[in-house]
Amino acid sequence: MDKKILLMEIGTEEIPAHAMPGILNQLKTLAEKSLTEARIEFGEIKTLGTPRRLSLLVSDVATNQADVEEEKRGPSAKIAFDKDGKPSKAAIGFARGQKVKPEDLITRDGYVYAVIREQGKSSAEIFKTLLPKIICDLNFPNNMRWGDLDFKFIRPLRWIVALFDDEIIPFEVANVTSGKISRGHRFLTIRNEELGIRNGLNRGEFEIAKAEDYIADCEKNFVIVDQNQRRDMIAKQINEVAANKNGVAEITDDLLEEVLYLVEYPTALAGEFETKYLKLPAEAVITPMRDHQRYFPVKTADGKLLPLFITIRNGGKDYLDIVQHGNERVLKARLEDAQFFFNEDRKKSLEAHREKLKTVVFQEGLGTVYEKTERLVKLVEKISAMVDVEASNSIRAAKLSKADLVTGMVTEFTELQGIMGREYAKLDGEAAEVCAAIDEHYMPRFAGDAQPKTTAGKILSLADKIDNIVATFSRGLVPTGSQDPFALRRQALGIVNLLSGARWSLSIREVVELAMDLLKITDKVGREKIQQEVADFMRLRVKNVLSSSTRYDVIDAVLDDVDDIFAVTLKAAAVEQFLKTPDSTKNVQSFVRVGNLAKKAESTELNAELFTLDAEKVLYGAFAAIKVATDELVDKKDFFGALDVLKKLSTPIDSFFDSVMVMDEDLTIRKNRLALLKSIDNLFAKIADFGKIVQ
């Protein structure tokens, strides 16, 4: 079967950079699904993109659909044929319905079947409807309408290229007709006037003769359409420019990804700024440079900021001096603002700024940010005592933690919250750990961000996040679906990772109780509701963290009680290790047998004198012998050691069930035996619910 290359290019106005990766992934998924459902064989699917185009390039595409043969079962053979073997009315009607001749029906297994054969259509013919459907099926969080069309897309459509090798696939979407005319770079594509007039091309347009020439044709017209090629070009150019300036460029993945989809033909250039701005904290210079202007900072080999930046121009190398000057002027204005706000902020200490927090509302109905810092002081005192660490630095950091929110620098550059607090605290002579904690308590700021390093930072981070969660839940704003405006899921994940990383055991319930006291939540039913919601919320986050390294059934087995998050992670590790030991299957089966009957127990009150059979005496004796040791190991968080002790009950348990009728007719004896099983099961439950382990 012949193979061809399919090309579809959707030309638009500039698409927001942040949306591009998701759109390209969606385009690839839709194409793969559509081709598969259409029974068209294909090879590699590539999705390519620039700010002005979304492109689909599929190799080794079959020129025709695969033929399909399908059998449809009809009536039984007894009904389908008369005694002479001729088709009955039932067979004739069935054949007519399936559009086959009665004589073509086949008999098998006592039934008649119609074999329906459908010859595959031309792929090019199918693409006339398949390609526009792919375009229309693309979904975006925000759409635009234009003209008087009842059509929505992320940005207005301007042209469409659709080629099957060199054959145009004709269709129309939003009054745009497909063809083989694309558009090059907005400013760099040079028009040959005579050629343009002769071929009917407008300024900036170019013709793609064959799908296989697409990437090369785009490059001739100053469009690097392959984002991976463009990414490599950008990174290489940045590093080369930085090296020429005896510096090292700081390239972050998120900025590189954003710049990647802002340009079609990248050219890197360096700019300079006055050295006086280096007296500002480095982040105060880098933030307006990187987050506001999309510039890459340049540092020395030992990490000191240089008065240089690198930017990516969407164009060639002509007039770079003019482009450089323009970028330098823009950055100078930003840095002047930063200098002004910094100088104004330093007219008083960070602590003096704290007073203004009394005018800033924390959340509706929950007081001011100043009052929040007062709550944080109480919470860090509690948490410090629970994990047995010195609290003075945490308390001081809690008082100052939000003071930078009312400074001019953070008001102008909100990304610097915590960072400027740290820097201002340093200038005020605060202890190094206090300064670090003011910054660290916001960590992690985003997925993949680091955790706090200092003890004070960890304590304050826990206090701040728990206060945020409880306060928001008290307003009934529990995250649902994709809605999480206060980023509470990220904060809860931060709590889980922090506690497990620091190896701290503490009761989340106790901290939540204090947080509710400080928030003056007095309704008993409301308090219990918040406790349950917080526990359920944290349970999902613990499950999320464990899922990357732990069996799903083990996770389910240890998640009943997530009050001590660090203990839960240790239990999961211990159970997984235990399941790898010899005889683990037999031991778990014994544990499960106990748990199944223990559910019928009404209490754990035991009377040893009521045990008359040898098997129950032996089991009771074994239980009594290991209970204290097991409890001690559990208290020490040595859960594997506790399981190693508990497995000694396996043989007595099996003997007990083989020899003893638990559900004895004598109610007193029955209750006593159930109480024994319940007591043993309670020991197991301190580690896991083994009934959830999949054997």
Report pLDDT digits (tens) over 396-414: 999 999 999 999 999 999 9
Tens-place pLDDT, residues 411-461: 999 999 999 999 999 999 999 999 999 999 999 988 788 999 999 999 999
Fold of 568-692: Isoleucyl-tRNA Synthetase; Domain 1 (1.10.730)
pLDDT digits (tens, 9 = 90+) for 94-110: 888 888 888 888 888 88
pLDDT per residue as tens digits for the range 85-142: 888 888 889 888 888 888 888 888 888 888 887 788 899 999 999 999 999 999 998 9
**pLDDT higher than 50, residue 71:** yes
Domain ranges of the chain: 3-65+123-220, 68-118, 227-345, 351-548, 568-692
On whether the CB atoms of residues 536 and 478 are closer than 8 A, the answer is: no
pTM of the model: 0.81
Mean pLDDT, residues 315-343: 95
What fold does the segment set 351-548 form as a domain? Hypothetical protein af1432 (1.10.3210)
CB contact at 8 A, 213 and 182:
no
Q: How far apart are CA 118 and CA 85, in angstroms?
A: 28
Reported as a pLDDT band with limits 50, 70 and 90, residue 194 is very low
Closest by alpha carbon to 643, among 597, 563, 581, 551? 581
Q: Per residue in 557-597, pLDDT tens?
A: 999 999 999 999 999 999 999 999 999 999 999 999 999 99
Q: Do the beta carbons of residue 471 and residue 363 sit within 8 Å?
A: yes
Residue 195 — pLDDT band, cuts 50, 70, 90?
very low
| Residue 380, pLDDT above cutoff 50 | yes
Locate tokens 């559900």: which residue? 663
Cα(308)–Cα(294) distance, integer angstroms: 13
Q: How far apart are CA 503 and CA 363, in angstroms?
A: 32
Mean local confidence (pLDDT), 535-552? 95
Distance between CA 478 and CA 146 in Å, rounded? 38
Mean pLDDT, residues 47-54: 97
* Sequence-distant (≥ 6) Cβ neighbours of residue 417 within 8 angstroms: 404, 405, 410, 442
User: What does the pLDDT read at residue 275?
Assistant: 96
pLDDT at 199 over 70: no
Question: 453-494: per-residue pLDDT in tens?
Answer: 999 999 999 999 999 999 999 999 999 877 888 999 999 999
Q: Report yes or no: 163 and 123 within 8 Å, Cβ to Cβ.
A: no
User: Smallest Cα–Cα separation from 560: which of 574, 578, 572, 547?
Assistant: 572
Residue 161 buriedness (CB in 10 A; 0-12 / 13-18 / 19+): buried
As a whole number of angstroms, the distance between CA 131 and CA 6 comes to: 10
Distance of CA 238 to the CA centre of its chain: 29
Helix axes 455-474, 524-546, angle to 10 degrees: 130
- Rounded Cα distance between 546 and 553, Å, is 11
Give the residue carrying structure tokens 């005579």.
Answer: 194
DSSP 8-state assignment for residue 506: -
**Neighbour-count burial of 36, counting CB atoms closer than 10 A to its CB (0-12 exposed, 13-18 middle, 19+ buried):** exposed
